[in-house]
Amino acid sequence: MALQKTLSLLLLSLLTLLGLGLVQPSYGQFMYQRFLRQHVDSTQRGVTSSYCNTMMERRGMTRPRCKQFNTFIHADIGAINNICRTPNIRCKNGKENCHEGVVRVTDCRLTGSSPQNCRYQGRGSSRRVVITCEGNAPVPVHFDG
């Protein structure tokens, strides 16, 4: 009887945490958080190489090795989520769950590296981006181009 009460309390606690959003319940939610970390910076309009060098390191894309190329989107997450509401288009992998929109971005391209020192060149523009969206209320999970 005590074991059953303990299990019931654990289940109730887990459901409460899920409801509050304190536990990530799915792979899709993990991919959404990863997308935000790797591609969203609504507070800056970075264009410079210094911006790229700082952000790539800060966001964990320089270890264990330097990421070759990355794009940061300079829009709030609401605007990015709205891209997921545009008509579906074909992704690079052939699936039909990509969407496109025009946003301000900084593209960071690796120009050189040595152990523990990745160097990037930054280029800012407003351009068309393609993102993969998933879920019942679609959210971005992958930057497709």
Residue showing tokens 């497709």: 144
Please check the confidence at residue 6 and state whether its pLDDT lies above 70. Answer: no
Residue 97, strand partner residues? none
Q: Does some domain include residue 31?
A: yes
User: Is 60 within a domain?
Assistant: yes
Residue 114 pLDDT greater than 90, yes or no: no
Which CATH number fits the domain that encloses residue 71?
3.10.130.10
Q: Quick one: tokens of 16?
A: 């409460």
Cis amide prior to 87 (ω within 30 degrees)? no
Residue 37 lies in a domain: yes
Structural domains in the chain (count) = 1
Q: Taking 50 as the threshold, does the pLDDT of residue 136 lie above it? A: yes
Cα–Cα dist 13/20, whole Å = 11
pLDDT, position 108: 96
Q: How many CA atoms lie within 13 A of 55 on its CB side?
A: 31
Range of the domain at 86: 27-143
Q: Which of 39, 51, 110, 143 is catalytic?
A: 39
Q: 135 lies in a domain?
A: yes
Statement: residue 1 has pLDDT above 70: no
Among the listed ranges 25-34, 62-71, 99-108, 115-124, which one has the minimum average pLDDT value? 25-34
For residues 129 and 126, what is the distance between their CA atoms, to the nearest angstrom? 9
Check if 142 is active-site.
Answer: yes
Q: Is residue 48 part of a domain?
A: yes
DSSP 19-57: HHT-S--SHHHHHHHHHHHHHB-TT----SHHHHHHHHH
14 in a domain, yes or no?
A: no
10 or 114, higher pLDDT: 114
- Of 55, 70, 129, 142, which is the active-site residue? 142
In a domain, 127, yes or no: yes
Domain assignment present for residue 54? The answer is: yes
